[in-house]
């Protein structure tokens, strides 16, 4: 099971044994965390106990460029979590994102040694292992986050589903690799290790958010679009699995900058205008937002054309991330891509509320990280050191003081 940041309160005579599941999203503008009751994790609507965020520093377009600054921001958020949900031990699953995140295909084949026997799972494993070895040798500076066999052929004939149980001389596979630059991957790990938080699972952000999609959407064909502050990611799903991924170096901050320049106002005022465009938008504001949105959608369209899926995904575009609230975003998307479009809607069910309320879409990735999945790679567990967190935070604070 996909288990992340699983916090278990130490049990004693005076404390009941509670368990929480937490997802953390390190963004370019904010670091976000969602806490759910672990007992409700497999329910259709898990109980969200808290959705917390803090300003992010030291991250540019998903890349960590200042480890100390990111560590300070992370510790600040963790302190908020621990005040409400203290725990001694933790497993952590982190979503990794950024413009270096991408997908690539490898095709390779193996000869079947004993042609008189059925093809076994071990034969498939051997082809996948060969593909991974070839990929790693060709791209030594890339870290593999996810591998999935997309298609098989036996003796030059396409196979529907798995070739296990068939007979043949040669098995061929088309395999998808999702990767990130090795140095970016190592930077993410160091951030958590410096805070005594060893990563238990690491997952590509779009793969984590796939947990928000329905089986029907993934089977029929759809695009998951996340518009963040400095980047936008798109991932295509067909036949139940991801088939393509790309991250663009453009996000909602570009809309804010355009509004600031177009109206000659501060970025703070432009940000507020963007948030409340439905009530305050002039024709000029609408045109500015629309122009930048079309820039993002044009990049998406080029990608879909390149993979020969333009206007061929009947489940449409599912929009997530902090910019999913933008006025007119669904209409812009439908107009440009000529397929259905909808914004993600997550209901926040909490013990203190009789009725569920909507969760801010900026928490969609952090929330997705609390849901079951098989897309993570596992790491060694370690102690959750509160003492080390406060020590590191104090050290950085002292260094920043004049």
Residue 8 clears pLDDT 70, i.e. is over it: no
Instruction: Summarize pLDDT for 105-126 with one digit per residue, the tens.
Output: 999 999 998 888 999 999 999 9
SS3 58: coil
- From residue 372, alpha-carbon distances to 40, 223, 363 in Å are 11, 20, 17
pLDDT score recorded for residue 91: 52
Average per-residue pLDDT in the chain?
A: 85
Provide the residue count of the chain: 402
Other beta carbons within 10 Å of 2: 20
pLDDT band for position 382 (cuts 50, 70, 90)? very low
Query: pTM for the full model?
Result: 0.85
- From residue 219, alpha-carbon distances to 39, 213, 216 in Å are 29, 10, 5
Helices of type H across 215-251: 215-220
Q: How many helices (H) and strands (E) does the chain have?
A: 12, 22
225 is written with which tokens? 């679009």
List the domains of the chain with CATH numbers.
Answer: 6-98+183-208+349-400 (3.30.420.40), 102-181 (3.30.1490.110), 214-345 (3.30.420.40)
SS3 215: helix
- Max CA separation in the chain (angstroms): 77
For residues 370 and 4, give the distance between their C-alpha atoms in angstroms, rounded to a whole number.
7
């Amino acid at each position: 099971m996909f288990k992340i940041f699983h916090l278990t309160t130490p049990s004693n005579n005076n404390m009941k044994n509670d368990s929480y599941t937490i997802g953390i999203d390190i963004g370019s503008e904010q670091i976000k965390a969602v806490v759910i009751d672990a007992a409700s994790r497999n329910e259709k609507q898990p109980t969200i106990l808290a959705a917390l965020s803090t300003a992010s520093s030291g991250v540019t377009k998903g890349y960590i460029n200042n480890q100390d600054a990111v560590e300070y921001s992370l510790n600040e958020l963790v302190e908020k979590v621990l005040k409400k949900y203290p725990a001694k031990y933790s497993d952590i699953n982190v979503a990794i994102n950024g413009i270096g995140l991408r997908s690539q295909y490898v095709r390779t084949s193996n000869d079947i040694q004993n042609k008189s026997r059925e093809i076994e799972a071990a034969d498939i494993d051997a082809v996948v292992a060969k593909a991974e070895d070839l990929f790693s040798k060709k791209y030594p500076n890339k870290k593999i986050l996810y591998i999935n066999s997309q298609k098989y052929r036996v003796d030059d004939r396409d196979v529907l589903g798995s070739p296990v149980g068939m007979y043949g001389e040669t098995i061929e596979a088309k395999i998808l690799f999702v990767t990130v630059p090795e140095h970016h991957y190592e930077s993410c790990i160091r951030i958590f290790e410096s805070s005594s938080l060893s990563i238990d699972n690491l997952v590509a952000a779009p793969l984590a958010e796939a947990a928000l999609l329905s089986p029907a959407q993934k089977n029929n064909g759809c695009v998951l679009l996340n518009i963040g502050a400095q980047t936008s990611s798109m991932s295509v799903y067909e036949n139940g699995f991801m088939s393509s991924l790309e991250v663009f170096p453009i996000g909602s901050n570009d809309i804010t900058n355009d509004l600031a320049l177009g109206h000659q106002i501060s970025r703070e005022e432009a940000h507020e205008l963007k948030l409340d465009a439905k009530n305050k938008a002039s024709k000029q504001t609408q045109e500015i937002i629309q122009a930048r949105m079309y820039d993002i959608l044009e990049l998406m369209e080029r990608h879909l054309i390149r993979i020969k899926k333009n206007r061929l995904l009947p489940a449409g575009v599912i929009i997530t991330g902090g910019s999913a609230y933008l006025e007119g975003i669904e209409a812009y998307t439908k107009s440009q891509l000529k397929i259905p479009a909808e914004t993600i809607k997550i209901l926040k069910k909490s013990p203190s509320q009789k009725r569920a309320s909507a969760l801010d879409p900026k928490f969609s990735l952090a929330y997705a990280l609390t849901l079951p999945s098989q897309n993570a790679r596992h790491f060694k567990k370690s102690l959750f050191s509160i003492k080390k967190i406060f020590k590191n935070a104090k050290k950085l604070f002292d260094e920043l003081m004049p």
